[in-house]
Amino acid sequence: MREFEFVVEFDPGADPLMDVFREHPTLTARSSTCFTTEDTMWRLDHVKGSPEALDAFDDLFLDETRCNECLDAPNCDTFREYHVLDRTPNSRTVYTYREEVHRCHSIPHHVHQHVGDGVVFESRRQDGEYRWRVLYPDDRPVGELYDAIEAELRDGLHLDVVHLSRAGNWD
């Protein structure tokens, strides 16, 4: 198995949620679990920051009328629901469930199309970056996935490869 790590960088003003991360540099969101099929995606995100940053995060992230994952459009028209599992003044744990993932041009959608069932993700949002690590089978070409993601990026989003290496340090 290989590990493919890449980052989507957001210019200021390109995405309201990522602007919240930029405006609150200590705000972080880390997915501990993210699973996807062709039709559904579900994940757990652990978010940490100041009470003010978390209030701004809640206002956008938990709004079920907007998509937090689209790369090509600010909002796709798919079903989504969010549940706050844990809430403290400085943290949140959020469960996300998405349907019709094939209609949302997101990282989980593109990776599933290229890797298939059983793909494992890890992601982290901070400042203007949305960083992804993907556990990737040795026999799959990474270039096709990179090209597919890059082709869907709207204005103000940029894709950079961090590394491609043997899988390790998945805790």
Q: Is residue 156 part of a domain?
A: yes
Q: Would the pLDDT of 74 be above 70?
A: no
Q: What angle do CA 142, 143, 148 make, to 5 degrees?
A: 100
Residue 99 falls within a domain, yes or no? Answer: yes
The mean predicted confidence, pLDDT, of the chain is 89
Sheet of strand 40-48, all strands in order from the earlier edge strand to the far edge: 80-88, 91-99, 40-48, 28-36, 120-126, 129-136, 2-10, 157-166
Domain membership flag for residue 68: yes
7 pLDDT more than 80: yes
In angstroms, rounded to a whole number, what is the distance separating the alpha carbons of residues 170 and 164?
15
Res. 73: pLDDT tops 70: no
Per-residue pLDDT of 85-144, as tens digits, reads 999 999 999 999 988 776 777 888 888 888 888 888 899 999 999 999 988 777 777 888
Residue 133 has, within 13 A of its CA and on its CB side, a CA count of: 18
* 110 domain residue, yes or no: yes
**Per-residue pLDDT at 66:** 86
Inform me whether the pLDDT recorded for 56 exceeds 90: yes
Measuring CA to CA, which residue among 51, 45, 46, 83 is closest to residue 64?
83
Give the pLDDT of residue 91: 98
Range of the domain at 90: 2-165
pLDDT recorded at residue 51? 98
Domain total in the chain: 1
In a domain, residue 37? The reply is yes
Q: Is there a domain that residue 170 lies in?
A: no
Look at residue 83 and tell me if it is in a domain.
yes
Q: Does residue 171 sit within a domain?
A: no
